[in-house]
Amino acid sequence: MKPFKRRRRGGMTATFTAAEAHLLANLAGQVVELLRDRNGLSESEADPLAAQLGMGGPSTPPEDPVLARLLPDAYRSDADDSSEFRRLTERSLTAAKVHYAEDLIGSLIDGGLTFGAAIEDESEDIEIELNPDAVQSWLKCLTDIRLSLAVRLGIENEEDVMLVAESGDEAIAAMSEIYDWLGYVQETLIGALD
């Protein structure tokens, strides 16, 4: 990856290899799938106005720990208020998170990412250019992806990051490297904003 840079005419650019771009698109797609599984369209909606406003979602917290982290309770000390708040806001929050992930994937496609049976040239460059709205989508989506990985890896603090990185399990070590790399991607984007 070539880090994010601010363009003189506005916007941000970065260059990813095809393999890196596929990884980002895949991870963002997994977040979309997870969120849609939680709040997919209902077959019958009791209140059409609530549906138009993105309201009327589930009132109970998700059982999946990743979803519980992405869609946390608003009021931890009051289950009734938290349940009502979730019912009124979760669908719109989910829709926003899906939008951010789809923006990220769309930026990669606009930069030349193609999906097929195999990556023909893993070193092929995918150059993306982000407008200010896309920058915000990328920052929010990268945060969601990193939170998801942190939950799956059991990362809650800096000590956990070190323990996971030193894991003898190859799959965990590989996911730890991806987690670190995503942090680097996010850091270069934030740095380019300054």
Q: Is the pLDDT of residue 126 over 60?
A: yes
Q: Can you give the pLDDT at residue 118?
A: 56
Per-residue pLDDT averaged across 107-126, rounded?
Answer: 79
Rounded to two decimals, the pTM is: 0.86
Q: Which of 122, 105, 132 is nearest to 32 (CA)?
A: 105
Mean pLDDT, the chain, rounded, equals 88
Q: Can you give the pLDDT at residue 58?
A: 79
Q: Can you give the pLDDT at residue 192?
A: 95
Q: Is the pLDDT of residue 45 over 60?
A: no
Q: Can you give the pLDDT at residue 43?
A: 40
Per-residue pLDDT averaged across 77-106, rounded?
Answer: 92
The pLDDT tens digits for 137-147 are 999 999 999 99
* Cα distance between residue 12 and residue 129, in whole Å: 6
Q: 21 and 113 in contact (C-beta within 8 Å)? A: yes
Per-residue pLDDT averaged across 19-46, rounded?
Answer: 82
Give, as one character, the DSSP assignment of residue 119. -
| Least confident residue range of 50-64, 90-104, 140-154, 180-194 | 50-64
Give, as one character, the DSSP assignment of residue 127. E
Cα torsion angle, 149, 35, 134, 56, sign: negative
Per-residue pLDDT averaged across 166-186, rounded?
Answer: 94
Q: Can you give the pLDDT at residue 44?
A: 39
* Structure tokens, 45: 């909606």
Label residue 116 by pLDDT band (50, 70, 90).
low
Give, as one character, the DSSP assignment of residue 57. -
More confident residue, 90 or 145: 145
Label residue 122 by pLDDT band (50, 70, 90).
low
More confident residue, 188 or 54: 188
Q: 140 and 189 in contact (C-beta within 8 Å)? A: no
